[in-house]
Amino acid sequence: QQQVKQSPQSLIVQKGGISIINCAYENTAFDYFPWYQQFPGKGPALLIAIRPDVSEKKEGRFTISFNKSAKQFSLHIMDSQPGDSATYFCAASPEGGSRLTFGEGTQLTVNP
């Protein structure tokens, strides 16, 4: 019940295209859903996060869509750029909690 399932495992997109990564969770106690971006040799960097009281949040080219009833959330990267090539992780934590449960990660490659 603590798992977060992420798909796809890898994704190849052309420059300018839309990258979409999906996550699903089971634990209804989860209250905070961040996305992290990780480059080789670096730690995960927080991209954008959402709480269940909103269905969508946008920051620049990055948008989170959240479906509370389906217990799913997704990351959309608009106008994908080669510099976006990285591994993306979704995560979830309970209200007020610091314990992040991570998805398996998606290796995104944006071809020029």
Partner 1 sequence: KAGVTQTPRYLIKTRGQQVTLSCSPISGHRSVSWYQQTPGQGLQFLFEYFSETQRNKGNFPGRFSGRQFSNSRSEMNVSTLELGDSALYLCASSWVGGQPQHFGDGTRLSIL
> Which of 14, 70, 96, 112 forms a contact with partner 1 (CB under 8 A)?
96
Give the range of 10-18, 19-27, 66-74, 102-110 binding partner 1 by CB under 8 A.
102-110
> Which of 77, 93, 106, 108 forms a contact with partner 1 (CB under 8 A)?
93
Give the range of 11-19, 54-62, 72-80, 94-102 binding partner 1 by CB under 8 A.
94-102
Q: Residue 16 or residue 60: which is nearer to partner 1 going by CB?
A: 60
Which DSSP string corresponds to the chain?
---EEEE-SEEEEETTS-EEEEEEE--TTEEEEEEEEE-TTS--EEEEEE-TT-SEEEETTEEEEEETTTTEEEEEESS--GGG-EEEEEEEEETT----EE---EEEEEE-
User: Is residue 7 close enough to count as binding partner 1 by CB under 8 A?
Assistant: no
Q: Per DSSP, what are the bridge partners of residue 19?
A: 77
* Closest by CA position to 22, among listed 64, 69, 84: 64
> Which of 69, 70, 83, 99 forms a contact with partner 1 (CB under 8 A)?
99
Interacting residues with partner 1 (CB under 8 A): 32, 34, 36, 41-46, 49, 89, 91, 93, 96-105
